[in-house]
Amino acid sequence: MSVISQVFSNMYQDSVSLMQISANISKQPGIEQASVVMGTQTNLAQLADAGLGQDIKAGPNDLIIAVKGDEAACKEAMALARELLSSKPQEAATDGVFAPNLVSLDMALERHPDINLALISVPGDYAAAEAIKALQLDMNVMLFSDNVSLAQEKQIKTLAHVKNRLVMGPDCGTAIINGMPLGFANVVKRGAIGVVGASGTGVQEVTCRVDHLGAGISQALGTGGHDLHEEIGGISMLHGLNMLAGDPDTQVIVLISKPPARAVAERILEQASACGKPVVVNFLGADAADIARDRVFPATTLAEAAGKAVALLDGRPSVTAFGEIIRPEQCHALPATRTDIRGVFAGGTFCYESQLICQQQGFHAASNTPVTGNKKPDDVWRSSGHTLIDMGDDDYTRGKPHPMIDPTLRNQRIAAELSDPQTAVLLFDLVLGYGAAAEPAAELLEILAQHPRDQRPLLVAHVCGTEADPQQRSRQIDALRQAGVVIAECNAQAALWASQIARIQAEKKGEK
């Protein structure tokens, strides 16, 4: 086993590009692990922890390629990484988006004075300073970077409030601005529903569901996951809500978040009620009675939020029922010893929502990102009992690409759950769109083919995406169905079905 690394001085690349290159070279034959990162202290420590180099000398503007595997394979992977880096496109500007050949925000603004949004994706140690520079230049900011402290976030957003600018993030992975998907977003129809969300995959689910129901999106604004903490105060959600309230192209607004701090929730709901437009609010896990206000409509699931928004737009009743249920005969072949719900998610909000629904159905599950009332597993790498895992959490992504970019680690966890004789139902998501894997189902189908259908648990999946996405939703669904996977229309329906299977199995076991 060999470990090879190379440092490229003053060669900055954004994190999404580096994750995609890491994913590409990791798949090469003979490679056990690979990482392409910038030389921050955090990244250097993670490389050392992963056994990819103890004494690498690099600075934060230096790029590092590190690979582990067979010696010949390492050399080939290193050559491929260099080729991918050198072949990155540097085209001229198109449709208002400019190639990254400008070395500063000032230079970009000087060359293109109409720019009013900066997308920042630099290591967290430097992200706050870049965001402040952009705000001082009167730009709005999408801050893709994570590892920004709450104190820095407060500083950034306080300045944005003073300058009447929007900050999406830190750790904002999804937005749709004037029809253009940014980060991990989907290709959806333009329309009159505006979204402000503190959850990337939550925004994806709502925007895609709106698209499925025949309506469209005016704007989808992310806030970052910490915006509704008491310390931040919901500054970005309040600003986004105000922007959509004043937008003539937006007729209905949807707000999405995990439960905010109580004082923050009250402030947001008060402004929502007074904004002059109907507002659908999905604070995951919150009591609907605590949300309802004049012209504010609570939704208990992401799918219901989308359905209510479309109904309000069309002036018709909302359809919130999930339709078909799991029937006992579908579990006939499962032995009574298979009792557990196992969930493996790329989307953190999908894992969160699934835990809530399983709880409502009487099933408490262990999770590395537990909701109130659930516990963390003793070992995040091994399931026991009902277990729902967010594979996009830091437990699994340190030094590795996110599973939406490279589903390898997620697929390995799915294989382990398939092999566990306690698993009754395996619940998982497939997230499509820009930034996501080109063929997210391909390797998974190979794994499923290794497990005969009559010897494996039931498989229930939800595909978050649209027909216009590069991966085409119907094509992914058809492939999964042919492999014996039951496909739900939304994440909430998938979790409900998984609970129904677990209940049937529990009843079956009780009869013995």
| DSSP annotation string for 71-130 | HHHHHHHHHHHHHHHHT---PPPBTTB--S--SSHHHHHHH-TT--EEEE-S-HHHHHHH
CATH number for the segment(s) 328-511:
3.40.50.261
Yes or no: say if 390 and 370 are a contact pair by the CB < 8 Å rule: no
Please determine whether the domains at 2-86 and 181-320 fall in the same fold group of CATH. no
CATH number for the segment(s) 2-86:
3.30.1360.30
3-state secondary structure of 421: coil
pTM listed for this prediction: 0.86
pLDDT string in tens for the chain (512-residue length): 888 899 998 887 777 778 888 888 888 899 988 889 888 888 888 888 888 888 899 888 889 999 999 989 999 989 998 888 887 544 434 444 544 555 678 888 888 888 999 999 887 888 999 999 999 999 999 999 888 999 999 999 999 999 999 999 999 999 999 999 999 999 999 999 999 999 999 999 999 999 999 999 999 999 999 999 999 999 999 999 999 999 999 999 999 998 899 999 999 999 999 999 999 999 999 999 999 999 999 999 999 999 999 999 988 766 665 666 777 777 888 999 999 999 999 999 999 999 999 999 999 999 999 999 999 999 999 999 999 999 999 888 876 788 998 899 999 999 999 999 999 999 999 999 998 999 999 999 999 999 999 899 999 999 999 999 999 999 999 999 999 999 999 999 999 999 999 999 999 877 54
316 is written with which tokens? Answer: 């018709």
CATH of range 181-320; options 3.40.50.261, 3.80.10.10, 2.130.10.30, 3.40.50.1100: 3.40.50.261
Q: Return all residues near 375 (Cβ < 8 A) that are at least 6 apart.
A: 366
Superfamily of domain 89-171: NAD(P)-binding Rossmann-like Domain (3.40.50.720)
Yes or no: say if 173 and 200 are a contact pair by the CB < 8 Å rule: yes
Amino acid 12 reads Y
Smallest CA-to-CA distance from 369 within 384, 347, 385 is with 347
pLDDT at 323: 61
93 is written with which tokens? Answer: 């500007």
Q: How would you label 410-447 residue by residue, b for 16+ Cβ within 10 Å and e otherwise?
A: bbebbbebbebebbbbbbbbbbbbbbbbeebbebbeee
- Segments making up each domain of the chain, as ranges: 2-86, 89-171, 181-320, 328-511
